[in-house]
Structure 1
Amino acid sequence: MRTKLLIASAIALMSLNASADDSGAATVTYDAGAGRVNVVGAQPTHKPLAAMTYTGVQGVYVLDDGRRLRVTGKSAGKARTLYADLGDGPVEMVQVGHGRFVGAERGLGLSFEDYVGAHPSTVQVTSAPQG
């Protein structure tokens, strides 16, 4: 039983370390009656967009299907916000990983890849179907 607890705790902590990304502490408890490990993670914190990322991804990209993606930004002090526009108005983008952004307003996702210096040479666009 103790071995199961140690293995379950180790797996839970490894998965938290992989997904929490320094977002805060987590609580791991063992419920002996139910025979399970309970993991409660802290809420992620919003990290400011790095200046190099902010300036590096701005520009106009011609997509494989002929559409043009315009990425622009607004800054106020250290607060930086990126916007993506595929021709139907700008959508605020939130960084979710290295070179990855989402715009929940329209289900838009951007993944910037193949960096040459500070600038990406490839962008992948995903969007939820409009209904």
Structure 2
Amino acid sequence: MKQSEGGTLYLQIHSQVLDEVKFLLDTGSSLTLLTPETFNKLSANEVVEVGFVNARLANGHIKKVKTYLLAEFALSDACTFHDVRVAVLPRSNNILGMALLSKAGTLHISMNPPTLKLDNCDSTDTSVIPPV
């Protein structure tokens, strides 16, 4: 995980499908948002369109966005989630929201050094994603 100068936390994802893709860790968002580029990489696996949701953006505006159900979403090769609902939003950052992070059970965020620990990730006792 990496911390910006403003204190924002970013997770660099390394998996067989995504390599060096940066995600904003947003505990205030329920949705996981993807850029079209990231969605195209992930949609090689099974994807189902599930409808639309009204998303409140950081600027306060509400935008209707299409949502999909991904059969698999991996934060690393050792940390895979199943049946993950995502929205695709052009001109945005990739955002990891609480709907996805809550699938990991308990999560621990350490600021020094910036580290994310997911207790129930991929049927392992502990999965630690170290800083980049």
Higher-helix-fraction structure: 1
With normalisation by structure 2, the TM-score equals 0.23
Higher-strand-fraction structure: 2
With normalisation by structure 1, the TM-score equals 0.23
Q: Which structure has more RCO (C-alpha within 8 Å, separation ≥ 6)?
A: 2
